[in-house]
Structure 1
Amino acid sequence: MFDFAIIVRSKTRRELLQDKFQTHAQAKFYVERSGGTISDIDAEHDRFYQSLESLIAQLSGRLKYKIIDRSYLPSFLFAENHLIITIGQDGLVANTAKYAKGQPIIGVNPDPTQYDGVLLKTQVSQTARQVDACLAGKNQFAEITMAELKLNDGQRLLAFNDFFIGPSSHISARYIIQHENQKEEQSSSGILVATGAGKTGWMSSVLNMVRGFAAGATVERYQNLGWSSNELIFAVREPFASRQSQANIVWGMIGEARPLTVESRMPTAGVIFSDGVERDFLQFNSGAIASVGVAPEKARLVISEG
């Protein structure tokens, strides 16, 4: 079934600094001049590469492999014979799942002291067992619901955790929102749409902000959503009521029969992006209409051996 492993990784902080400053010495000078210390960044870098080398060693004799940086995900074509392994923070699983076409993903935690590992169900030392179980078809998977957004011009975007619909900078978003039987013009800081898997992400900060004001059932209903629940939640950030804008539709659940539609009223600077990746965005300016619902694709995360 699988004869090739695709290892998806991110650059370490040390590598990002060296990309910017060309050399380690110049990066060290910049960090220490700013009051920081390079030793923690170096130690983090070393731990990551120790984990990566261990992972590669465990693939020896099992699968051929290719390592790609997360920046190549939008253009990389995954195939049915690919077993996907991410090694990095939780967000790397979310970013990869959007392009994985339903192929299994083994999320490896390279440093449990640094990463929470909500989506990283495999420790480095367990990689070989997980791969062997996948090759034998004996793994258990969590099927994770993703969100889908379509524009009226045919463009489409998936989200593992959440969508942001709004302005590209600190200005007010203007749009017409429609959900179930309600429709109104709004001005706000933008709209968040989140999946069940995204409840520990950006949406959680919104719920924390309004916890003291929202009905408890609203918060609890979303927090009880499982990863496979075929519902999404949306929240309007800081809606402003005026003569031209209302603030009645501030949150809601999105399902198969309850889509969310948003029509842009912004002449410029309107954007839509998913899972916090701002550089991979769709323009959302006047005339654009976005429809948001549950995606037909599912992410498949390896959670244990069978």
Structure 2
Amino acid sequence: MSLAPRAVLVHRRTEYEELLARHGTHGQAAFFLAARGRSADEVRERHERTRQALAAVSGAVPLTWRQTRVERADLDRFLFGPEDVVVVVGQDGLVANTAKYLAGQPVVGIDADPGRNPGVLVRHRPADARRLLPYAAGAAVAADELTMVAAATDDGQRLLALNEIYVGPPGHQTARYTLDDTEGGAEPEPQASSGVLAGTGTGATGWLRSLWQQRSSGLALPAPAEPRLAWFVREAWPSPTTGTSRVEGLVGPGQGLRLTVESDRLVAFGDGVESDTLDLTWGQTVRLTVADTRLRLVT
């Protein structure tokens, strides 16, 4: 007998909840915000909209299902099951934060505050949850299979991201490494830079696009479901021992971009989450590739 589906509601603490945790009372939080020209009422109203959205989605879960909630800060300690339907209630970025912990489970993105979010990944409203959840658990569910990016080190560490992975210094120092795009046929190049960014078509609407626009790149950025990555070197520095001839490119299926570390410490993290990093030391290598895992975003 198979288990009934489990709805996993992913959410994050609102700004209002974080203010209360820091200042203790609504009055103290309001005083803090007023001193900075902001209104506590507006922050509290957004908090209430988010709580109402979460309650509406929770109430829409079929009675025969199991359900649980997980806060963003606890995602790295939560065990997702193969029968889960993952419902992200919040912002687009929360879907990206969740994707790295999944293994093909369907994801329903619910926009908790329409009008403030682009809605690229949280495509649905709370009122849609009642019909979407049974649909997401069915065999005929339609979902966008969004490409993800993977980083793998030579000692077995691994990291996944939906938007992009950054490899570079943890602070404002210079990253030194040798860049090797072996599948491209060019010779490895020692470089000194502010780091390397490799991202997907989903990430091509954010940080990746800003680099692409900044340098007026002629690369054709990938689409979200396309199994390709675009990569850029940030602020490469020319010197007698470091080059700048290879500062952007594309990675397709079966290909990879390899960096050999020549600094005391570099880090790799995905989707802007610096608390979940790979630590890289001198002589270590990290390879950036199209991930085997994809995000199944219910349409």
TM-score category (smaller protein) = over 0.9
**What per-residue deviation string (whole Å, max 9, x for no partner) do you get for residues 56-94 of structure 1?**
111152522111101111121111121110001001111
- Does structure 2 conserve the Cα–Cα contact (< 8 Å) formed by 1:130 and 1:139? no
Q: What residue in structure 1 maps to residue 263 of structure 2?
A: 266
1:251 corresponds in structure 2 to: 248
Match of 1:29 in 2: 31
**Separation of aligned partners in 1, 2:154 and 2:128:** 45
- 1:113 matched residue in structure 2: 115
Distance between the aligned counterparts of 1:200 and 1:272, measured in 2? Answer: 20
Q: Give 5+ residue unaligned stretches, structure 2.
A: none
Q: Deviations over 1:3-48 (max 9, x none)?
A: 2111000110111112222222222221111222212111110111
| TM-score in terms of structure 2 length | 0.94
The worse-fitting range, judged by mean Cα deviation, of 123-132 and 14-23 is 14-23
Question: Percent identical across equivalent pairs?
Answer: 32
SS of residue paired to 2:188:
strand
Match of 2:20 in 1: 18
- Work out whether 1:232 is the aligned partner of 2:229: yes
Q: 1:257 to 1:82 in 2, by over 3 A?
A: closer
**Backbone CA RMSD of aligned residues:** 1.4
One-letter amino acid matched to 2:251: I
Hey, what does 1:209 align to over in structure 2? Answer: 214
CA contact (8 A) 1:2 1:83 kept: no
Letter in 2 for 1:14: Y
Gaps (5+ residues) in structure 1? none
TM-score, with length taken from structure 1: 0.92
Partner of 2:154: 152
Q: 1:184 aligned to 184, 189, 207, which one?
A: 189
1:205 partner amino acid? S
Q: Is the 8 A contact 1:88 1:110 kept in 2?
A: yes
Q: In structure 2, what is the equivalent of residue 302 of structure 1?
A: 298
Secondary structure in 2 aligned to 1:182? coil
The answer to whether the 8 A contact 1:2-1:80 is kept is no
Give the aligned partner of residue 288 of structure 2: 292
Instruction: Give 1:64's match in structure 2, choosing from 60, 63, 66.
Output: 66
Aligned partners of 1:2 and 1:82 also within 8 Å: no
Aligned-partner Cα distance in 2 for 1:109–1:63: 22
Q: Distance in 1 between matches of 2:240 and 2:50?
A: 54
Distance change (3 Å), C-alpha of 1:25 and 1:79: same
Alignment of structure 1 residues 22-171 onto 2, 5 Å: 22-171=24-173
Letter in 2 for 1:162: E
In structure 2, which of residues 276, 279, 282 is the aligned counterpart of residue 280 of structure 1?
276
Q: Distance in 1 between matches of 2:177 and 2:24?
A: 44
Q: Deviations over 1:119-155 (max 9, x none)?
A: 1122111111111212343321111111111111110
Check whether the contact 1:264–1:287 (CA below 8 A) recurs between aligned residues.
Answer: yes
CA contact (8 A) 1:196 1:232 kept: yes
Question: How far 1:182 moved relative to its partner?
Answer: 2.9
Taking the aligned partners of 1:190 and 1:300, their CA distance within structure 2 comes to: 30
Pick the aligned partner of 2:203 from 198, 204, 217: 198
How far 1:258 sits from its partner (Å)? Answer: 2.9
